[in-house]
Amino acid sequence: MNETKGTGLLYAVGKVVLWVLLLLLPLFVVISNSRASALEQKEPVALTEYFSLGAKVKYLFRSHTSYEFGNPFPPYQAPLSRLEFPLDSWWGGVEMRFNLSRLSLGMEALTNVSRNAHGEMEDSDWDDDARPDVKTIYSQSQMRVGPSYMVRADADLEVSDWLGLPKWLSIRPVTGIRWQRFNLVAHDGVQYSYPSGDPPLPLPGESIRFKQEYWQYFAGVRSDIGLTQLTGVASLRFLAQFDWAYVEGINEDNHLLRAGRRFTSENTYGHAWHGSVGLKKDLSEHFTLGFDVDYLAISTTGNHRLLNETFNVDMSFTHGVKVWSDQASACLTLEYRF
């Protein structure tokens, strides 16, 4: 998590490409066998139906990424501390797809457009060992979004004809990788102490720098349903995708207002559920407009490390460690098909 922004992005993209190539090997075997069979029968095979490139705008709403950890010592309250970072913000980027005769390959890359997240970062502590269920400290801070990224690469395979389904219904098993990196800075907050009743404590300037990555290796199903016959609207389609992912999470938290150089970090593992639905409409022979809503729920557990070299503190534990994220979004895409 301490690598430079450029190096980290190149490493992430390289890892995505490598994993997608490994995931696609079985699909390439299927396509190669199908093409060889067709050639033997002297039937023409369209290697590429089309290539599309799209501009995409996404807004995250009611979204956050959070983590908490427990007390590794008696009375073992969990959570001992919880931090919740808002993600409501605008994102933009590009999406491309190669649509082959049966196989489809796609990639999407987005970065944040907003410099600030809507909502406030919340930091809560339960540090009174005599009353472990009582929240003792609570703070709210403004949230700035540094350079952050979302990258997705996937492949799907058309199986509708193998299942004997009608032409207006497309069913495609899909597999791929999602990578997310968030760079967040909490600043200009206010801290409250309970139940002492002390006056609120201003927290001017930057208080927390938070970096987080999620690697999500997913598999699921994607569908494309023609609505022209039902609605009478030409080239209108309903799109849906549902998938499950194995998740690796890494995050680092630098508490700037604490004495010394205090860092906490988590290495966690878990799963994610994802679903999206949307509509697409051809505007012309080459242009298509799409709108979709998307929901992603991530849940992981693992190891928490506290490091403060100034005071020779370096300890790790797993008690009560949880990292999770809920991300809802609405997205508009203008696609050009070559």
Mean pLDDT of 56-79: 97
Q: Where are the domains of the chain?
A: 5-337
SS3 sequence of 257-291:
CCCCCEEEEEEEEEEEEEEEEEEEEECCCCEEEEE
The answer to whether 58 and 88 have CB atoms below 8 angstroms apart is no
Mean pLDDT of 101-126: 96
Mean pLDDT of 18-44: 47
Mean pLDDT of 250-264: 93
Q: Give pLDDT tens digits for 207-216.
A: 999 999 999 9
User: Residue 196: its pLDDT value, please?
Assistant: 75
Average pLDDT taken over every residue of the chain: 89
User: Residue 31: its pLDDT value, please?
Assistant: 46
Total count of residues recorded for the chain: 338
Mean pLDDT of 246-274: 96
Note the helical H segments in the chain. 5-40, 228-231
Fill in the amino acid letter for 261: R
CA distance 79 to 76: 9
Residue 256 has pLDDT above 70, yes or no: yes
Record the pTM: 0.86
User: Residue 248: its pLDDT value, please?
Assistant: 98
CA distance 189 to 86: 14
Most confident range, picked from 47-56, 87-96, 193-202: 87-96
User: Residue 51: its pLDDT value, please?
Assistant: 94
Q: Give pLDDT tens digits for 117-166.
A: 999 999 999 999 999 999 999 999 999 999 999 999 999 999 999 999 99
Q: Which of 197-211, 291-305, 320-334 has the lowest mean pLDDT?
A: 197-211
Which top CATH class is 5-337? mainly beta
Residue 7 has pLDDT above 80, yes or no: no
Residue 2 has pLDDT above 60, yes or no: no
Q: Which of 28-42, 67-81, 99-113, 243-257 has the lowest mean pLDDT?
A: 28-42
CA distance 252 to 208: 10
Q: Give pLDDT tens digits for 175-194.
A: 999 999 999 999 999 999 98
Residue 23 has pLDDT above 60, yes or no: no
Of the pLDDT bands very low, low, confident and very high (cuts 50, 70, 90), residue 13 is low
**For the chain, how are helix, strand and coil distributed in percent, rounded to 5?**
15, 60, 25
User: Residue 12: its pLDDT value, please?
Assistant: 55
